[in-house]
Structure 1
């Protein structure tokens, strides 16, 4: 049916003659979507290729009510347009056809439309938004300044070629991009989170895709594997990028990481009601460093989003023996083996200039240790390799040189290489298997003075949970008499200490650089719950609380007055000696009625920290080669996202999560 015939037929009916054109197109689309419903009520002898003459009553009533027609008028209009409706393509077919049209005829002219909305990416503003600009006062229209070819990575349709349009104010010269404006070398991102995130000069990521990567990382899946999965899916689709397009459709790990960082920062700034500002120039890898560091510092000084959290799973209101109502809140802490490269000088928290370095450069005395023999107690300068001329890590002492040889051989062993290959598959920042040490940390050696043989005894165990500092050093000295210690390899932070509520909400995280000493754990708890928004808990559950309680008493730490310090139920029953009177009398959860339910069982989940550690420990291979800034930012974001999922679960369970007034 041609247009003349269509309109001529409609002119014969008074109500249809004045029907708005937009209503006509809506009628056609609605009727086309109802094809299956129309067919279901027809006799089985009706052909599916020909439009039925009669509409089902339900469809007729639906269309009549929507367009304010009588049912007779709907029947008349259906008789006119039924053949046209039956020929209309489905939404998917129409989208594919439109995509092909613009690919063939539009891209070469800078015109791009797709099944993805706004595939020509304009700035969200049409006039200058600089309040100091005359153009803003006059509401002058921004004019097209520049268009660039870009690639848009979408969630469902793969990579697509597109155009990015930059608009420039002719008065104040502010440049407007799709995500941000640029003035005086500074990018200022617009309010909210855009539908497409610009992660490189010519690459955009659809928001839904970036969100799916954020979700996958919580499992956790590395950025490298996110990129691999996307490329695998891309290989099943027909190529969307024109062979003449300047940029390909392959996704890089760096683009996944940049989308993660940008999405996290934009979400954080949106929630705090401020604009994200970053340098416009410089390297992409350094662009967000300052903003990431700022958020980490804010979390340290103000706490996590859910620091104020309370719910029926972690706060209990109970009746005391005197008949009064009391409340008790419980937190649980434990360490988990996740770390990043750090300076090899014990307790030095200065960042490394490069994660491959062994010593920091901020402290000159630490930097100079690179040319001092790595064997503990030896202050002689290192020697040079006679063949390569490179500096070694040992002096010219034959025993020390033999220790270094043993260290190199252990790294090159088949077992070591296999382990490094497994780690390399999981890590994002690792590009060379040969450059990845199997064991970062101290090494111990034994030298037999009679035979002259030297052998590597064992890699040092870097985890020590809940130890006392002095006791740790004494035990270390006792157990290693007659052995030589060296630090040929990099050092790594010891562990992450998590503070978790029994309901699963993570209150805080902190990096332990040397040991999970009870003094450090006590200091962490005091710092967290002394923040302005925090409430001091009535009970702290910790695997080594018997040692911690001794520390509190010996140092008379006032903060812990009135705080119960129990060992979690499982460890108290299986790992602590019954002969320890202090532990038995003061660290048993059964000694506190508010921690028990009506049946004598445990009211709170005291093992929650270890359960969370199973999830959190899986991030080790992802972030083991990260710089401190990226490491802190990534783990904090994972905690924020985990807490939001836990909150949704607590709401579903009816545990009434909330932030009490302090």
Structure 2
């Protein structure tokens, strides 16, 4: 039995706090354990009749029938992590998955297969009406939930997730919030200092104690799909989308770069001759390879009659006319990706900050990243290593940045 940790209402907004919970309701669930396989269980929930807050094993929901209701997870550490509806994963299994993902770069699919073929098959495993096999989505949800719960406890917060809607997007808001914190001073190892990244030495001239702390900033080329609207940073609802939910109404817009006109019916561009010519050029380029070879041979005056292949038809000859280039016009056909994930790494290898660069890794973007990572001058390291250090140093020495970055001894 998985029962709520409270027997009385602890909701602060309840008109009668401390009321004994009632209206018990039981649902069938399953628990994926590390040493006992898959266990059948029942999740018992209870509700307060005054504030209509229903308490479950892992969370409580105030007025769960409302479309904007929130799940508020308890701060205390529980033995089982609520991964999906009717699915719980033991805390030790979540740590096992985290270690393999971090150290062995194991995929969630391989983790699910390994668990189903080994850990999930034990002599004490009891049959349940629910499937006794773990899926990759359960592994991924358990991984995210376990990480979010630990991060919320570290900050002394209570994790809140949406109660209704798709489970696929339930973690989005919380993950975005913590990723935003990580782009500044929110890394738990932010104040890290060891003998490899922090050196204390005696000045040979003044005999005073000084220190040296260095780090490297660089971009990791890990692109993520993004909205194709310029300077939009709203995340996509699905990896298959090309527009975010805010700009999805622009899906019928002309695909010529920086064109705001609507595309004509049956076309991907508007009625502008240059844009339509670029579309036709793209269509000609998508023809089969043999037709493209015929076009090239005829352009060079080489006969297309070969023993293996007959002459092309008149329609092919019509297509083989040399294409008319439409200047510097570009069609936005491909998916748009973020440029890189920027990291700041201490000399010992500890990553103290990260953020996403959407367009480029210019010195102004790097300077803004350093400003958010080290908001106060005394937090700056004495040395920063960067592959375009000269340009970055010139940018940091401008009057706009001199106030914060004047403490640099080397870049």
TM-score category, normalised to shorter length:
0.7 to 0.9
User: Could you tell me whether the CA contact under 8 Å between 1:154 and 1:206 is conserved in 2?
Assistant: yes
Measure how far apart 1:501 and its partner are: 0.7
Corresponding residue of 2:110 = 225
Change (3 A) 1:272 1:408: farther
Matched, 1:291 2:168: no
Measure how far apart 1:524 and its partner are: 1.2
Measure how far apart 1:536 and its partner are: 1.2
| 1:383-462 correspondence runs (5 A) | 383-385=264-266, 391-392=267-268, 397-404=276-283, 406=285, 452-453=322-323
| 1:432-581 correspondence runs (5 A) | 452-453=322-323, 485-530=330-375, 535-553=379-397, 557-558=401-402, 559-566=404-411
**CA deviations over 1:391-442 (Å, ceiling 9, x no partner):** 53686735532325636989xxxxxxxxxxxxxxxxxxxxxxxxxxxxxxxx
Measure how far apart 1:228 and its partner are: 2.9
Write the distance in 1 (CA, Å) between the matches of 2:247 and 2:48.
Answer: 48
**CA deviations over 1:362-387 (Å, ceiling 9, x no partner):** 369xx64742143x4777754555xx
Instruction: Tell me the matched-pair count.
Output: 369
Corresponding residue of 1:253 = 136
Corresponding residue of 2:221 = 337
Measure how far apart 1:133 and its partner are: 6.6
**CA deviations over 1:558-606 (Å, ceiling 9, x no partner):** 033231344xxxxxxxxxxxxxxxxxxxxxxxxxxxxxxxxxxxxxxxx
Write the distance in 1 (CA, Å) between the matches of 2:353 and 2:287.
Answer: 39
**CA deviations over 1:206-235 (Å, ceiling 9, x no partner):** 111111112222132233332233233367
Write the distance in 2 (CA, Å) between the matches of 1:288 and 1:173.
Answer: 24
Gaps of 5+ in 2: 65-69, 290-319
Write the distance in 2 (CA, Å) between the matches of 1:312 and 1:510.
Answer: 27
Measure how far apart 1:482 and its partner are: 6.8
Corresponding residue of 1:467 = none
User: Could you tell me whether the CA contact under 8 Å between 1:301 and 1:531 is conserved in 2?
Assistant: no
Measure how far apart 1:505 and its partner are: 1.4
Write the distance in 2 (CA, Å) between the matches of 1:135 and 1:525.
Answer: 47
Write the distance in 2 (CA, Å) between the matches of 1:173 and 1:192.
Answer: 22
User: Could you tell me whether the CA contact under 8 Å between 1:493 and 1:512 is conserved in 2?
Assistant: yes
Change (3 A) 1:300 1:234: closer
Matched, 1:372 2:372: no
Write the distance in 2 (CA, Å) between the matches of 1:170 and 1:346.
Answer: 51
Corresponding residue of 2:190 = 307
Corresponding residue to 1:279 among 162, 187, 193: 162
User: Could you tell me whether the CA contact under 8 Å between 2:161 and 2:174 is conserved in 1?
Assistant: yes
Measure how far apart 1:267 and its partner are: 0.9
Change (3 A) 1:409 1:123: farther
Write the distance in 1 (CA, Å) between the matches of 2:132 and 2:348.
Answer: 44
User: Could you tell me whether the CA contact under 8 Å between 1:500 and 1:508 is conserved in 2?
Assistant: yes
Write the distance in 2 (CA, Å) between the matches of 1:372 and 1:485.
Answer: 11
Q: Secondary structure at the match of 2:217?
A: strand
Q: Secondary structure at the match of 2:26?
A: strand
Query: Which has the larger helix fraction?
Result: 1
Write the distance in 2 (CA, Å) between the matches of 1:565 and 1:126.
Answer: 61
Q: Secondary structure at the match of 1:136?
A: coil
Measure how far apart 1:236 and its partner are: 5.3
Corresponding residue of 1:328 = 212
Write the distance in 1 (CA, Å) between the matches of 2:18 and 2:260.
Answer: 68
Measure how far apart 1:324 and its partner are: 1.8
Q: Secondary structure at the match of 1:268?
A: helix
Matched, 1:161 2:77: no
Write the distance in 2 (CA, Å) between the matches of 1:406 and 1:556.
Answer: 49
Matched, 1:123 2:4: yes
Change (3 A) 1:251 1:394: farther
User: Could you tell me whether the CA contact under 8 Å between 1:370 and 1:393 is conserved in 2?
Assistant: no
Change (3 A) 1:229 1:406: farther
Q: Secondary structure at the match of 2:367?
A: helix
User: Could you tell me whether the CA contact under 8 Å between 1:394 and 1:400 is conserved in 2?
Assistant: no
**Aligned residues: CA RMSD:** 3.5
Write the distance in 1 (CA, Å) between the matches of 2:251 and 2:54.
Answer: 49
User: Could you tell me whether the CA contact under 8 Å between 1:192 and 1:266 is conserved in 2?
Assistant: no
Change (3 A) 1:384 1:217: farther
Q: Secondary structure at the match of 1:508?
A: strand
User: Could you tell me whether the CA contact under 8 Å between 1:302 and 1:531 is conserved in 2?
Assistant: no
User: Could you tell me whether the CA contact under 8 Å between 2:222 and 2:341 is conserved in 1?
Assistant: yes
Q: Secondary structure at the match of 2:178?
A: helix
Change (3 A) 1:350 1:338: same
**CA deviations over 1:463-519 (Å, ceiling 9, x no partner):** xxxxxxxxxxxxxxxxxx976633211110000110011011111111111111122
User: Could you tell me whether the CA contact under 8 Å between 2:281 and 2:323 is conserved in 1?
Assistant: no
Write the distance in 2 (CA, Å) between the matches of 1:124 and 1:369.
Answer: 49
User: Could you tell me whether the CA contact under 8 Å between 1:153 and 1:160 is conserved in 2?
Assistant: yes
Change (3 A) 1:380 1:162: closer
Q: So what's the TM-score if we normalise by structure 1?
A: 0.50
Corresponding residue of 1:356 = 240
Gaps of 5+ in 1: 1-119, 386-390, 411-449, 456-480, 567-662
Corresponding residue of 1:591 = none
Could you say which structure has the larger radius of gyration? 1
Corresponding residue of 1:264 = 147
Write the distance in 2 (CA, Å) between the matches of 1:190 and 1:353.
Answer: 28
Measure how far apart 1:333 and its partner are: 0.7
Write the distance in 1 (CA, Å) between the matches of 2:392 and 2:247.
Answer: 33
